[in-house]
Amino acid sequence: MRLRVAVLGAGSWGTTVASLASHNTTTRLWARNPDLAREITEAHTNRRYLTDIRLPEDLKATHDMGEAVGEADVVVMGIPSHGFRSVLAEASRSIRPWVPVISLAKGLEENSQLRMTEIIQEILPGHPAGVLTGPNLAGEIMGGQAAASVIAMEDEKIASQIQDVFRSGLFRVYTNDDVTGCEIAGALKNVIAIAAGMGAGVGVGDNTQAAVITRGLAELTRLGVAMGGHPRTFSGLAGMGDLLATCMSARSRNRHVGVQLGQGRKISEIIDEMHMVAEGVKTCRVVMQLADQYDLEMPIAREVFGAVHGGRTALQAYRGLVRHRPGSENEPG
């Protein structure tokens, strides 16, 4: 039986995932803006988020939440972390019992510090919850370039069924049962990408940026393992793979924020001109709370927090990293 899919959120990644799924099964994309829903259905474009990309003609969009999810066998949440709870609460009134809910968000909820699958379990107890994550830049995938991702769920049987929904052509999907590790990796890599971008903005060399990315991987592994993730997850697609893509790509929103900070711009100005969300801006505050809670040293994340929320310049942040006393590379601290 082909699983019917509803994707909530018509941003660049939500639209991309809906397009991938539409090659395999009936897929309905929910857009908050009725004009955008009409454009996707009738013109087969999403000019605001995916310029010059032709969408599959089989992909239909709607502004009506009940219409989007009422008959869905799988619900995919392509909603950023700050709006995730409210949209899921609205959708919950129409989602049928036991339907799996998959998150695409790579962030943590402010105040509660919850991962997105924890919010799913809170609002829809009994529904299988998972995350689709990895080094996935929407524009490249829609342009037909090869990519790989991970569907992380505790139930491997359900994960393998959903795996078939998303894999398409050159888009490969692997399974992983480490939901916590995959989510923490996806959230924290955005913070490290801001650090990498700041380095590019202030003009540091490749050696420095390589050191920041590598030690950033150590930080996200440290936090992820402390929260219950498996160490091997962080050397895979959800960890190192996503970290590399986000830190290096000119398409990366979080790297863009870092570059602009490195060039001396204020965070408020940078965010105001962006029409897509850079999750690392909000996530770095939550990461610092978690670092304190678990008593972890996370110097790169702390300097990013200082530059984004504490009034420090990118150059001051990098000088702070140089002053941090290094220990053994293989020690957890």
pTM score of the predicted model: 0.94
CA separation for the pair 226, 287 (Å, rounded): 12
3-state secondary structure of 117: helix
Q: How confident is the model at residue 333 (pLDDT cuts 50, 70, 90)?
A: very low
Is 189 in the active site?
Answer: yes
Distance CA 50, CA 78 (A): 15
* Each residue's pLDDT tens digit, 299-317: 999 999 999 999 999 999 8
Question: Looking at residues 278-300, what average pLDDT do you find?
Answer: 96
Helix (H) or strand (E) holding 222: helix 206-226
User: Which residue is catalytic, options 106, 189, 266, 282?
Assistant: 189
pLDDT higher than threshold 90 for residue 329? no
**Residue range 152-166, pLDDT digits in tens:** 999 999 999 999 999
Picking from 276, 213, 202, the residue whose alpha carbon sits closest to that of residue 240 is 213
Domains of the chain: 5-177 (3.40.50.720), 180-323 (1.10.1040.10)
The strand pairing partners of 129, in sequence order, are 101
State the residue for tokens 């009994």: 126
The whole-chain average pLDDT of the chain stands at 95
pLDDT score at 257: 96
